[in-house]
Amino acid sequence: MKKKLVVIGAGMASGRMLEQLFDAAPDAWDVTLFNAEPRGNYNRLMLSPVLSGEKTYDQIVTHDDTWYATHCVDCRFGEPVVRIDRKNRLVYSNSGGAPYDALVIATGSAPFIIPVPGKDLPGVVTYRDLEDTQAMIDTAGKDAVVIGGGLLGLEAAAGMAARGARVTVIHLMGHLMERQLDPAAGYLLQRDLEKRGITVHCKGATKAILGTDRAEAVLLEDGTVYPADLVCMAVGIRPEVRLANDAHLEVERGIVVDDALRTSDPHVFALGECVEHRGQVFGLVAPLYDQAKVLAKTLLGEAAIFAPVQTATKLKVTGCDLFSAGDFADAPGREDIVFRDPGRGIYKRLVLEGDRIVGVVMYGDTADGAWFYGLMKDGTDISDMRDTLIFGPAFQGGAAPDPMAAVAALPPEAEICGCNGVSKGTILDAVAGGACTLDAVRACTKASASCGTCSGLVQQVMAVALGGEVQDTPVGMCKCTNHSHEDVRRLIRAMGLKSIPAVMQELGWKTVGGCHSCRPALNFYLLAEYPLEYRDDRQSRFVNERNHANIQKDGTYSVVPRMWGGVTTPAELRAIADAAEKYGVPMVKVTGGQRIDLLGVRKEDLPHMWADLNAAGMVSGAAYSKGLRTVKTCVGKEFCRVGTQDSTGLGIKLEKLMWGSWTPHKLKLGVSGCPRNCAEATCKDIGVVCVDSGYNIVIGGAAGMEVRETVPLALTPSEDEAIQIILAVTQLYRENARYLDRIWKWMGKVGLGWIKAQVVDDMENRRTLVERFEISQSVYRRDPWADLSTPSETPKWAPLADLTLEAAE
């Protein structure tokens, strides 16, 4: 009599195993096959083409009725197994039992459901089987949200977009597919998806799925709401081990199997995504097919050993070409070889350890992926070809990557010289007309004839036209790039670059993650350019701006709450005194900006102290920021016998409008009520000196390493107009100055006359500048202390672990 084999789960792994078994010994086993889905084995990997409409279900069926009949398989489809009785070797479904001599558990994996309110609403699906796929196909013309920007989530998103849905992808991490891709490749992928109309929201944590009878929208922790007729959760999978658990088999993350794929019970085997082998679980198909081969042999009594090999990942989204393989984690002593071709959207990165490749990431051009993968798998010594390795097997002495590619790719209408409104096309015409020196181009187009900061870019445009004769290119903003600050800023604008990885990729950065000099600058340029879209990157900020306090030489911090216009109250002073005592502040000092500094605060105390100060109504004074610091005032005509205007009131108004704003460098204001100038307004970045007839606005002062007296910008009889001019000049400075230039330095480059023309004479321009300032402030007029002292953020300020405690035991 034939022995009885029962298989739980008709997926790809068990299907392959049965094929191997029937090929080798057609009559060895009587097979009973249970499956929870009401159908047999189909190619789950092909669900994405079904979703996108490139294939139909019939085309992806692996085993049809005829196949099962030919091999006399007793099919129990749509009949989930509910219990395994190991003692009597029986499995039970709700319709009866089946005896076994050998049992194979192939229950696969279950999608991970994030535990948020609304997760059980109709309209919330995973991406696992044909039912899910059908639900997603039905979203055509509707709103869909995919939670999870990994492999599966992106395939779901692309598929629904191809069917005509409006799709948003919400991803918890900073960039897509962070397990397979680094930030640069993640950026390219995001860009390609956005080109297909998919909205991508990174660093997005889902708070709830909203809806009464069914899903209607998704709410994020940051308050964003996306409409959703359908929500697809694709945040990950975990091995489906419930049956094995109930049967008391050994289970860790997955069902534990040995090299022969036997579980802790010698009559029970397991394979596929539900198993754990030597601490590893599996999600890709290649190792599962290897398991199928091994298990078929085991069942036929032959010796076989399962040994997993490294596998590569490819995304199955038509038009998004990416390849990722190997290991990017662990181990010091690794080096990177990076190749970027901004013009063609190509990024390649090899991770080397000694003379071997240990990791490969490619985007845009993955033709050499298999070759690199082969070198990696074989552990080939690449030292001989290291210099040219990144160019692939076909390399025959080809050219080095072209840093001018970004400039060459600009359209003719792209503006090169902002002062004089000269486009790339105009410069090219001038060159074609015979102007082949910078002076000649300047003379006939006025490009770079005003502030001169675009000289480098003008020369690069000329170089593109003249064929590579670059002379006197100014030094780059740092060692990571040849582009100057001004050029980077213009290119961010002209090319619509909206993230740090985007800038680094498109402008051909020479390093992997920039440096301490360019990252804060890029972060500022991006948030100034795209206040609503760009999210401030804390990790690209200098310590003081990241921690919202000033670091002192011993690693403690100083805390300065805001005092609007230098005015405080007994209650605020009491709260400051309480905080100073509670946290043992060693020094309390009055600052030059008319407020109080608490010096020597330990990092882990910061969020607690902030919460206390917040409770008393105080916010961060931003005494650490390249942004609005203080507005120093005198008492003005309210009290002073010689005061001419309400200088205190104006100072408070300005501070309430401008607090929280980021600027290229620190921005200090002063408002004096009369020319005696008690608020020292004439050495501030922007000052107001009140007179009987109105308000004298002065700019460009400094009292630091450089001491500068301000110069007059405008005189106006109206307080309201004074405020408008000050906001406009601040915005003009934000939009145009180089990072870390104070106003006086910027003014030296563009000229006071130009600034006056923009914000004093041109009323329409003033109005739009103020409008843009206010748009930005709608995001940044917000207290960072309140955001960083929440119950979830507070623990992050303390050490991660304290090993001294364990050592003492």
Partner 1 sequence: MTIFVDIGSLDDIPAQGARVVRTAQGCVAVFRTADDRVFALEDRCPHKGGPLSEGIVHGTFVTCPLHNWVFDMNTGQAQGADEGRVRTFAAKVQGGRILIDATLLRRSAAA
Q: Which residues bind partner 1 (CB under 8 A)?
A: 173-174, 178, 182-183, 279, 328-334, 336, 511-516, 519-520, 538-543, 546-547, 551, 553-555, 796, 799-804, 806-807
Q: What is the DSSP string of 200-232?
A: EE-S--EEEEE-SSS--EEEETTS-EEE-SEEE
Residue 250: which residues within 8 A CB-CB, separation 6 or more?
256, 263, 264
Nearest approach, Cβ of residue 232 and partner 1 (Å): 23
DSSP helix/strand/coil, 31: strand
Please identify, using beta-carbon distances, which residue of 49 and 359 lies nearer to partner 1.
359
In degrees, rounded to 5, the angle at the alpha carbon of residue 390 between the alpha carbons of residues 384 and 395 is 75
Nearest approach, Cβ of residue 236 and partner 1 (Å): 11
Please identify, using beta-carbon distances, which residue of 123 and 520 lies nearer to partner 1.
520
Antiparallel, parallel or unpaired: β 230-233 and 143-147? parallel
Phi-psi category of residue 333: left, alpha or beta, with phi > 0 → left and psi -120 to 50 → alpha: left
Please identify, using beta-carbon distances, which residue of 409 and 515 lies nearer to partner 1.
515
Phi-psi category of residue 592: left, alpha or beta, with phi > 0 → left and psi -120 to 50 → alpha: alpha
Nearest approach, Cβ of residue 238 and partner 1 (Å): 13
Nearest approach, Cβ of residue 349 and partner 1 (Å): 9
Nearest approach, Cβ of residue 554 and partner 1 (Å): 8
Provide the 10 A C-beta neighbour count for residue 584: 10
Please identify, using beta-carbon distances, which residue of 136 and 500 lies nearer to partner 1.
500
Nearest approach, Cβ of residue 516 and partner 1 (Å): 4
Q: Residue 506 belongs to what H/E stretch?
A: helix 500-506
> Pseudo-torsion of CA 497, 499, 502, 504, nearest 10°?
110
Please identify, using beta-carbon distances, which residue of 546 and 562 lies nearer to partner 1.
546
Q: Residue 557 belongs to what H/E stretch?
A: strand 557-559
Nearest approach, Cβ of residue 543 and partner 1 (Å): 4
Please identify, using beta-carbon distances, which residue of 63 and 175 lies nearer to partner 1.
175
Please identify, using beta-carbon distances, which residue of 508 and 520 lies nearer to partner 1.
520
Let me know: does 478 contact 517? Beta carbons within 8 Å: yes
C-alpha separations of 315 from 37, 202, 318, 344, 541 in Å: 26, 19, 9, 19, 33
Give φ, ψ of 226 to 5 degrees. Answer: -115, 130
Nearest approach, Cβ of residue 113 and partner 1 (Å): 19
C-alpha separations of 219 from 147, 208, 576 in Å: 11, 5, 37
As a whole number of angstroms, the distance between CA 712 and CA 686 comes to 10
Please identify, using beta-carbon distances, which residue of 553 and 641 lies nearer to partner 1.
553
Q: What is the DSSP string of 306-344?
A: ------EEE---TT--EEEEE--SS-SSEEEEEEEEGGG
Nearest approach, Cβ of residue 628 and partner 1 (Å): 23
Identity at 325, one-letter amino acid code: A
Nearest approach, Cβ of residue 253 and partner 1 (Å): 8
Helices 285-299, 12-24: inter-axial angle, 10-degree rounding: 40
Nearest approach, Cβ of residue 506 and partner 1 (Å): 17
DSSP helix/strand/coil, 613: helix
Let me know: does 506 contact 497? Beta carbons within 8 Å: yes
C-alpha separations of 640 from 383, 645, 655, 673 in Å: 79, 10, 21, 9
Please identify, using beta-carbon distances, which residue of 514 and 636 lies nearer to partner 1.
514
> Pseudo-torsion of CA 202, 188, 230, 160, nearest 10°?
180
Tokens, residue 286: 């290649």
As a whole number of angstroms, the distance between CA 36 and CA 8 comes to 9
Nearest approach, Cβ of residue 607 and partner 1 (Å): 15
As a whole number of angstroms, the distance between CA 10 and CA 12 comes to 7
Nearest to 209 by CA among 76, 329, 113, 136: 113
Nearest approach, Cβ of residue 766 and partner 1 (Å): 37
Please identify, using beta-carbon distances, which residue of 692 and 802 lies nearer to partner 1.
802
Nearest approach, Cβ of residue 278 and partner 1 (Å): 13
Nearest approach, Cβ of residue 231 and partner 1 (Å): 23
Nearest approach, Cβ of residue 199 and partner 1 (Å): 22
Residue 140: which residues within 8 A CB-CB, separation 6 or more?
163, 164, 165
As a whole number of angstroms, the distance between CA 181 and CA 203 comes to 16
Identity at 722, one-letter amino acid code: A
